[in-house]
Structure 1
Amino acid sequence: MTPWEVFAVKYADRNARTRKDSFLFDDNHDQPHDMDYFMWVLRRGSDVLLVDTGYDSEEGDRRGRPIRLNPVEALAPLGLQPEDIGTIIVTHLHYDHAGGLKHFPNATIHLQAAEMAFATGPCMCHGTLNAPFTADHVCEAVQRLYSGRVIFHDGDGDVREGVTVHRTGGHSKGLQVVRVLTDAGWMCLASDASHYYENFLEGKPFPIVVDLDDMFRGFSIIQSLASSNDLVIPGHDPLVRELFPSHGPDHIVRLDRGPLKGIGS
Structure 2
Amino acid sequence: MSAVEIPTAPRKPGDGVRLFGFTVGHVNMPVAFFLDGEPGEIRAPVTAFLIDHPKGLVLFDTGLGSRFIRPKGTQPESFIDLEQGDTIDERLKAIGVDPGEVRWIIVSHLHTDHAGGNAYFPNATIVVQESEYDHAFHNVAEDPIYEISEYDLGQPYLKIRGEHDLFGDGTIVIFPTLGHTPGHQSAKIKTDGGDIVLTGDCCSLKRSLDEFRLPGHCHNADQFMDSLKMLSSLERKGARVFPSHDPDFWATIPKSVPIG
Partners of 2:195 and 2:239 within 8 A in 1: no
Q: C-alpha separation between the residues in 1 aligned to 2:82 and 2:49?
A: 16
**Which of these residues, 6, 23, 45, is aligned with residue 35 of structure 2?**
23
Structure 1 unaligned regions, length at least 5? 257-265
Which one-letter code corresponds to 1:255 in the other structure? I
Whether 2:66 is the aligned partner of 1:66: answer no
**Which of these residues, 152, 164, 187, is aligned with residue 159 of structure 2?**
152
Give the TM-score normalised by structure 1.
0.81
Partners of 1:119 and 1:138 within 8 A in 2: no
Cross-structure match for 1:79: 96
Cross-structure match for 1:124: 140
SS state at 2:251 partner:
helix
Cross-structure match for 1:262: none
* Shift, 1:164, TM fit: 0.8
Cross-structure match for 2:5: none
* Shift, 1:77, TM fit: 2.6
Q: Would the alpha carbon gap of residues 60 and 222 (structure 1) be closer, same or farther in structure 2, given more than 3 Å must change? A: farther
Percent identical across equivalent pairs? 22
SS state at 1:200 partner:
helix
**Which of these residues, 15, 20, 23, is aligned with residue 7 of structure 1?**
20
Q: C-alpha separation between the residues in 2 aligned to 1:253 and 1:22?
A: 28
Provide the alpha-carbon RMSD of the alignment.
2.4
* Shift, 1:228, TM fit: 5.2
Q: Would the alpha carbon gap of residues 101 and 13 (structure 1) be closer, same or farther in structure 2, given more than 3 Å must change? A: same
* Shift, 1:21, TM fit: 2.7
SS state at 1:223 partner:
helix
Partners of 1:179 and 1:226 within 8 A in 2: no
Number of matched residues? 237
Cross-structure match for 1:174: 183
* Shift, 1:192, TM fit: 0.7
* Shift, 1:60, TM fit: 4.9
Cross-structure match for 2:152: 139
Q: Would the alpha carbon gap of residues 63 and 110 (structure 1) be closer, same or farther in structure 2, given more than 3 Å must change? A: farther
* Shift, 1:9, TM fit: 0.4
* Shift, 1:32, TM fit: 3.0
Partners of 2:106 and 2:128 within 8 A in 1: yes
Kindly report which structure 2 residues correspond to 1:226-245, keeping only aligned pairs within 5 A, or say none.
226=235, 231-244=240-253
Which one-letter code corresponds to 1:173 in the other structure? P
- Higher relative helix content: 1
Q: C-alpha separation between the residues in 2 aligned to 1:99 and 1:60?
A: 11
Which one-letter code corresponds to 1:131 in the other structure? P
Q: C-alpha separation between the residues in 2 aligned to 1:110 and 1:243?
A: 28
Q: C-alpha separation between the residues in 1 aligned to 2:161 and 2:56?
A: 24
Cross-structure match for 2:52: 43
Partners of 1:185 and 1:226 within 8 A in 2: no
Whether 2:62 is the aligned partner of 1:56: answer no
Cross-structure match for 1:219: 228
Structure 2 unaligned regions, length at least 5? 1-13, 71-75
Runs of 4+ with deviation above 4 angstroms: 60-63, 226-230
Whether 2:199 is the aligned partner of 1:190: answer yes
Cross-structure match for 2:218: 209
Partners of 1:39 and 1:53 within 8 A in 2: yes
Partners of 2:130 and 2:159 within 8 A in 1: yes
